[in-house]
Amino acid sequence: MNFKAINLSELTLNGLRDMGFQSMTPVQEKAIPLMLKMKDITVQAETGTGKTAAFAIPVIERIIKETVDIQALVLCPTRELTIQVAEHFNLLLKYHENIACMAIYGGQSMNAQLKTLKTQPRIIVATPGRLLDHIKQGTVKLRAVKTLILDEADKMLEMGFKDDIEAILHATKNREQTALFSATMPQEIVRLAHKHQKKPEFLNLVKKKVIEIKIDQKYFETKAEQKIELIKRLLFSYRLRSVMIFCNTRVQVDKLYYTLKDEGFSVANLHGDLKQNKRDAVMRKFREGEAQILIATDIAARGIDVDDIEAVINYNLPRDSEDYVHRIGRTARAGKSGYAFSVVTPLEVKFLREICEKQKLSVTRSAIPGINSIDLGSVEMIKNTLIDSSLTKKTSKKFLKMMKDLETEGFIGEDLKDEVIKKLLNTKTSVFGAGLN
């Protein structure tokens, strides 16, 4: 559809013409008419789909020239995106006299920003932290803001801006329109929409791969030396009994294998240095459930076809984005659902995002499961958790006997539960992944 079909002003059309825009992209075609009607919208759209123009055009069209206050606010997660979005606005504003958009972000002189604010920009694009600094100092007044846009809302929440966003939403309580644009739609975004929007229209412009529908992809951030502890916590928290864990090297496979084996987990290892008869024996154990956790390299795992794998865990991220797809595709087979967990250090988060962007996949950050999040509300629950886990039968029996011995010693009720948990955390096995932050 051509931009002329939606009755935009000649000034905006001239700006679009200079930018080489003629026909609307799908996200623009759906979002612009709704925003022109001042509807609240939540849009799932990827980078490169024209989403900036999708919110910039209606914002510009609704600006009242006679009012010199800030009338529209866009929040972005990074300085780079803030600058980019503000430039996009100003290109569209080329023929609109006396209306400008200003970028506000950290790392730039406050005095320089104060000087620009005196020119009375009608539109502000900002990172949450620096904008809050201005709000607290009284140098930015948002009482006249009618439209608030959260761009790349998922990234802002991932980066820890939730409290800042809530504060800014409160500072713009006179607004008439709230729009959220996000590449992914985790539950935090949905909750934010329900809390702060009025009867929002939900627009999904992402063509999801089948793999996304069936596989719940999450990543957990921790220190490199705590990855093994975190994996143990995941095994217990999700009560996983058929798991593939991927490492990039044979050394890493063996280290993880021997650590988990020594601590009582039912594990097998698979890598290129194993002879074929040994590899066949390992796969037989895994297929038949004799080993519940298979730790492998990508090369060794090629050709594996097991239908009942509940979860795939990336101990290391693969070196190639296609390998990530191959790895997580081991779960959710034969119409079943599954989990794909990536255990990453802070430095690896960016690489994981790049992988998912290339493959158009959605992965959400999750908090490390705490001991309390594992269902240990009673002694009976602890028994069930120990039995329904990836521990060997021998290890489970050992802990169940320990519980029986404590009962014999006179521990009952909450005292028994607390003593059991303490012993489970302090024994050599540390089966719950003790020592995590």
Give per-residue pLDDT as tens, 194-211.
Answer: 899 999 999 988 765 544
What confidence tier does 46 reach under pLDDT thresholds 50, 70, 90?
A: confident
pLDDT band at 371 (very low <50, low <70, confident <90, very high): low
Cβ proximity of 74 and 123 under 8 Å: yes
Cα–Cα dist 99/93, whole Å: 7
Q: Does 437 have pLDDT greater than 60?
A: no
Residues 114 and 261 grouped into a single domain:
no
Whether residue 437 lies inside any domain: the answer is no
Point out the least confidently predicted range of 62-76, 162-176, 204-218: 204-218
H-state helical runs in 63-120: 79-92, 110-117
- Given this model, what pLDDT does residue 10 score? 95
For residue 432, being part of any structural domain is answered with no
For residue 203, give Cα distances in angstroms to 39, 100, 229, 272: 12, 29, 40, 47
* Domain termination site, one of 371, 387, 402: 371
231-254: per-residue pLDDT in tens? 998 998 888 889 999 999 999 999
Range of the domain at 422: 372-426
103 domain residue, yes or no: yes
Q: Which band of pLDDT confidence, cut at 50, 70 and 90, is reported for residue 317? A: very high
Residues 6+ apart with CB under 8 A from 246: 295, 296, 297, 298, 301, 312, 313, 314, 315, 316, 318, 327
Is a pLDDT exceeding 70 seen at residue 305?
no
Does residue 435 belong to any structural domain of this protein?
no
What b-and-e string marks burial along 10-28, b requiring 16 or more CB atoms within 10 Å of the CB?
ebbbebbeeeebeebbebb
One domain, residues 174 and 51: yes
- Do 142 and 93 belong together in one domain? yes
User: Same structural domain for residues 131 and 174?
Assistant: yes
pLDDT, average across residues 321-340: 84
Residues 326 and 419 in one domain: no
Q: Note whether 347 and 392 are same-domain residues.
A: no
Global pTM value:
0.52
**Taking 80 as the threshold, does the pLDDT of residue 372 lie above it?**
no
pLDDT band at 301 (very low <50, low <70, confident <90, very high): low
Q: Measuring CA to CA, which residue among 123, 154, 153, 155 is closest to residue 140?
A: 123
112-127 pLDDT, tens digit each: 999 999 999 999 999 9
433 within some domain = no
For the chain, the average pLDDT equals 88
What tens digit of pLDDT does each residue of 388-418 get? 788 898 988 888 898 889 888 888 878 887 8
- 231: domain CATH number is 3.40.50.300
- Strands of 311-314's sheet in order across: 267-270, 293-296, 243-246, 311-314, 338-344, 215-221, 364-365
What are the Cα distances from residue 225, in Å, to 149, 256, 344, 431, 436? 40, 12, 11, 16, 10
- Distance, in Å, from the CA atom of 122 to the CA atom of 4, rounded to the nearest integer, reads 25
Question: pLDDT category, 428, cuts 50, 70, 90?
Answer: low
How many folded domains does the chain comprise?
Answer: 3
Percent of the chain, pLDDT > 70?
92
Higher pLDDT, 388 or 342: 342
Confidence (pLDDT) at 190? 86
Domain boundary among 188, 204, 220: 204
> Do 360 and 389 reside in the same domain of the chain?
no
pLDDT in tens, 262-291: 989 999 999 878 876 787 788 889 988 899
Could you tell me how many residues make up the chain? 437
Return the minimum-mean-pLDDT range out of 211-225, 245-259, 308-322. 211-225
Q: For residue 160, tell me if it sits in a domain.
A: yes
Q: Are 88 and 159 within 8 A, CB to CB?
A: no
